[in-house]
Amino acid sequence: MASPGIVRATIVGLILAAGSAIALSAPQPSGSASRGLTTADYARAERFMSWNTTPLVFRNGVSPTWSEIVGLVPEAALFEAAARHVQLRNFSPEMVLERRVRNAIQGGETVSGFIASVASSSPTPGGGSVAAHVGALAASLAQMVAGLTAGRKKYAAVDAEMRDVSLRAAGLVNELSALVSKDAAAYSSVSAAYKLPAEPEEAGARRKEAITHALLGAAEVPLETARACARDGRSAR
């Protein structure tokens, strides 16, 4: 078995390698010497460390007795590390009570927070949620343009039309924003259905029925998103 000193030295080497991997993973703008680290960079570093150091530590029979954080660390990295090491199934940061309360107080998740969630190793939010989010942004732009037009003498001829567009766009913003979470929930339902026991025969039949129901529900959500985006496009003409 490797000595604790060798293991510690190897882990330090992996930490340095993780930092180098981050620095080299993203292209540098021409003429620039460095760039700031993003939450996605931190997420890659955390996964790199977990995948490489965990097998090394347990294979050599070493039990960590303490650890520390130097400087600042993204919240998402702590959530991911905790969920991975205690082997939580279907974990999402939205399950954390304080996070839900904070989002409610702040009026919802920030754009940077949503991007960090997409970049994380969690399967949700995924492509369906991103599509709905982009659709909501498009609708908000239509609402902005309609709001800038309505009430101005120069556009008096289309004032009523612009007010109607603004109202419809606001409704689409709310609908598509809700579909962001709905898509993630649909994925979780499919994942849970596939994890149901397949034996005995009765349980297998219930599992098959649950999978079919979950897949149909998951297919309906992107259709709702597509329909809402189509209405969004017609409003923006």
- pLDDT tens for the 237 residues of the chain, in order: 455 555 555 555 555 454 545 444 555 555 555 555 565 665 566 555 555 556 666 666 666 677 777 777 777 777 777 777 777 776 777 778 877 777 777 667 778 888 888 888 888 899 999 999 999 999 999 999 999 999 999 999 989 999 999 999 999 999 999 999 999 999 989 999 999 998 898 989 999 999 999 999 999 999 999 999 999 888 777
Q: Is the pTM above the cut of 0.85? A: no
Cβ distance 48 to 21 under 8 Å?
A: yes
What's the distance, Cα to Cα, between the start and end of the chain in Å? 70
Cβ distance 177 to 143 under 8 Å?
A: no
C-alpha span between 18 and 42 (Å, rounded): 10
C-alpha span between 14 and 64 (Å, rounded): 16
Calculate the alpha carbon distances from 30 to 14, 26, 27, 40, 142 in Å. Answer: 29, 12, 9, 22, 36
Structure-token pair, residue 207: 């599992």
Q: What are phi and psi of 121, to 5 degrees?
A: -80, -5
Place of tokens 């919240």: 75
Domains and CATH numbers, the chain: 1-22+38-59+72-122 (no CATH), 125-237 (1.20.120.680)
One-letter amino acid for residue 45 of the chain? A
- Environment class of 61 (CB within 10 Å of its CB; exposed 0-12, middle 13-18, buried 19+): exposed
Structure-token pair, residue 49: 């460390």
